[in-house]
Amino acid sequence: MKRWSLVIIFLFIIFACSGCKLKSAQLKEFTDEKFLMDTLIQVTVYSDDEQKGKEALDKAFAEFERINNLTDRFPKDGKNTAVFSDVIRINENAGIKPVQVSTDTLNIVQRSLYYAQLSGGSFDITIGPIMDLWGFGKNEQHVPSDEQIQKTLSLVDYRKVIVDPDNGTVYLQKPGMSLDFGGVAKGYATEEAAKVLRELGIKHALINAGGNVYALGTKPDGSLWRVGVRDPRNENGIIAVLSVKDTSVVTSGDYERYFEERGVRYSHLIDPSTGKQARDLMQTTVVTESSTDADILNKPLFVLGHQRGMSFAESLQGVGAIFVGADKQVTFTGNLTNQLKFTGDGDYQIIHQK
């Protein structure tokens, strides 16, 4: 008799446990996408409450819209963006006067200048005039003459950006200078959107802002998010998979915004010191907690190239990086070893460091 009741208790436990497995199913997936910041933004959140899930999505997209309005460099058709855009106002007042800006713009400028200094100018938010010369941003791309490049380069210098944090102003010292937040705005907006999701109590979410990924928490079942890294020469391929939580994965490549002239590829990844394309790498990926940092850091790593980029990445705390060289050699920082798996697709040569 006693044995029977034991068996029954045992069965009850199994029964209860089989029910447990269903618990994670109570979290529902809410997903939406919008075209903002010249790219496609996809947000997925998990919540047990429909209203809360939808509210979280709306508020996340509102952050992208807000940062977009602050950082737009060109007036949009039919919209008086100059009223909102700090960047347009800063650029219009270059060489004239300091401009009062929002806390967000101040944050972006300060973070950007920090990395400009740290990387010896291989990342520079005053690249605006060079981007305009190449026609990026306005879809009128063409190869400029060396003379034009040299002349325009005199307008590119992050040391001529004067920030006054007490008065909340930004000033460009030379007329004709202009800021371009193309290398940081998406990352900053992603970080702000993730912050809002956390404040709303969201524990699991995935943001993909035109390839800039932020994984909030874990997947609903407690496992790590798996983020694929695109094959730089095959739109359909994935060269590696990163397992992450509470981390950004941001990739830059010469295939993103580029044009071809006489069979040569010209990407938007331009070295601020030469005004021309950096060509040592075809792709970089940065893995770090802050989306802003991840977005920014891709640019100096790409510009510095395989070896100097690797040294720079290794000098930074909590930053992982993957480099795909133009010669198809792939290297990565040692701190990624446990979370990085290469798929073996494409004819890349993976070089494992000791």
Partner 1 sequence: MKNLNYYILASLLLLVLISFGVSHLVQRQMTEGDLRLEIYTDGQLYRKISLSEASNEEIKVPNKDGHYNVVEIEKGRARIKESDCPNQMCVKTGWISQPGQIAVCVPNKFNIVIKGKSNKVDTISY
* Binding residues for partner 1 (CB under 8 A): 4, 7-8, 11-12, 14-15, 18-19, 21-22, 25, 32-35, 38-40, 42, 139, 206, 208, 210-213, 215, 219, 225-230, 235-236, 238, 241-242, 249-251, 253, 256, 259, 285, 343
Chain center to CA of 228: 15
Q: Using the minimum distance from each CB to partner 1, give the nearer residue, 73 or 116.
A: 73
Task: Provide the minimum distance between the beta carbon of 325 and partner 1 in the complex, in angstroms, as a whole number.
Answer: 18
The distance of closest approach from Cβ of residue 37 to partner 1 in the complex, given in angstroms and rounded to an integer, is 10
Q: How far is the CB of 153 from partner 1 (least distance, A)?
A: 26
Q: Give 324's contacts (C-beta < 8 A, 6+ positions apart).
A: 232, 239, 253, 281, 282, 283, 284, 330, 348
Provide the minimum distance between the beta carbon of 297 and partner 1 in the complex, in angstroms, as a whole number: 14
Cβ at position 53, least distance to partner 1 in Å: 16
Q: What is the DSSP letter of 272?
A: T
Closest approach of partner 1 to the CB of residue 90, in Å: 25
Residue number with CB closer to partner 1 (30 or 225): 225
Q: Which is nearer to partner 1, 64 or 158 (CB)?
A: 64
Q: How far apart are CA 2 and CA 141, in angstroms?
A: 84
Q: Which is nearer to partner 1, 25 or 347 (CB)?
A: 25
Dihedral sign, CA of 290, 181, 79, 174?
Answer: positive
- Looking at beta carbons only, is 149 or 241 nearer to partner 1? 241
In whole angstroms, the minimum distance from the beta carbon of 226 to partner 1 comes to: 5
First-last CA distance in the chain: 64
Which CB atom, from 155 or from 205, has the smaller least distance to partner 1? 205
d(Cα 322, Cα 317) in Å, to the nearest integer? 15
Which amino acid is present at 325? Answer: G
Between CA 335 and CA 338 the distance in angstroms is 8
What is the closest distance, in whole angstroms, from the C-beta atom of residue 86 to partner 1 in the complex?
Answer: 23
- Helices 185-199 and 103-118: crossing angle in degrees, nearest 10, is 130
Question: Nearest approach, Cβ of 230 to partner 1 (angstroms)?
Answer: 4
Please identify, using beta-carbon distances, which residue of 92 and 221 lies nearer to partner 1: 221
Nearest to 306 by CA among 287, 322, 288, 286: 322
**Tokens (6 digits) for 288:** 């770090």
293's tokens: 């940092």
Helix, strand or coil, per DSSP, at residue 337: coil
With respect to partner 1, which residue has the nearer C-beta, 15 or 80? 15
- What sign does the CA torsion over 169, 172, 178, 182 have? negative
Residue whose CB is less far from partner 1, 126 or 291: 291
- In degrees to the nearest 10, what's the CA dihedral of 288, 219, 336, 312? -10
C-alpha Rg value of the chain to the nearest Å:
23
Query: Cβ distance 179 to 91 under 8 Å?
Result: yes
Q: Which amino acid is at 19?
A: G
